[in-house]
Amino acid sequence: MTLFTQKKSSLHSVSPVALHLFWVFLKVGSVLFGSGYVLFAYLDTEFVQNLGWLTRYQLMDAIAVGQFTPGPVLSSATFIGYQIHGLWGALVATAGIFLPSFIFVLILNPWIPKLRKSPRASAFLDSVTMASVALMACVAVSLGGAVVGLVLESHHFIAFFNKVVHIFHS
């Protein structure tokens, strides 16, 4: 499959598969908030159940690839696009999932200073910012605690720590 199909008139048209991929990822990019796990529900319905373009295992592989690479949504969309329609599929899927974000920023950016002048809207934006920072702090503390717990449980670390203490007390 290719992005463009050749017609007798030598005019090029975009392939239906590429258009459909772009449309699906454009819709997903318009409403998606969250990680690749949220993305899974949308894409499972569309590509596995409705279209049959992917198996559930292929979709799970795509989400897994996205989770261990930077930018899980980008990686998952690109990987799925590639699985379905090769390089052109990867390009249109990636463009489709990110285009809504760029459009939202272009539209909303001029309004932010105006919203900041409104006491209620400004308080709401500040609250969202504080909630985001608090959420990131909770995740950092939780993950940090898990890492410290793993290190403290390590017998090698405890043995090393005992040797260091013994050296300093000698």
Neighbours of 19 (CB within 10 A): 14
Residue 38: both structure tokens together: 């949220």
Round to whole Å and give the CA distance between 81 and 87: 8
Q: At 12, is the secondary structure helix, strand, or coil?
A: strand
pTM score: 0.60
Convert the pLDDT of each residue in 47-68 to its tens digit: 988 999 988 888 888 877 777 7
Round to whole Å and give the CA distance between 146 and 130: 24
State CA 3 to chain mean position distance.
25
What confidence tier does 155 reach under pLDDT thresholds 50, 70, 90? low
Q: What pLDDT shows up at residue 160?
A: 64
Q: What pLDDT shows up at residue 4?
A: 40
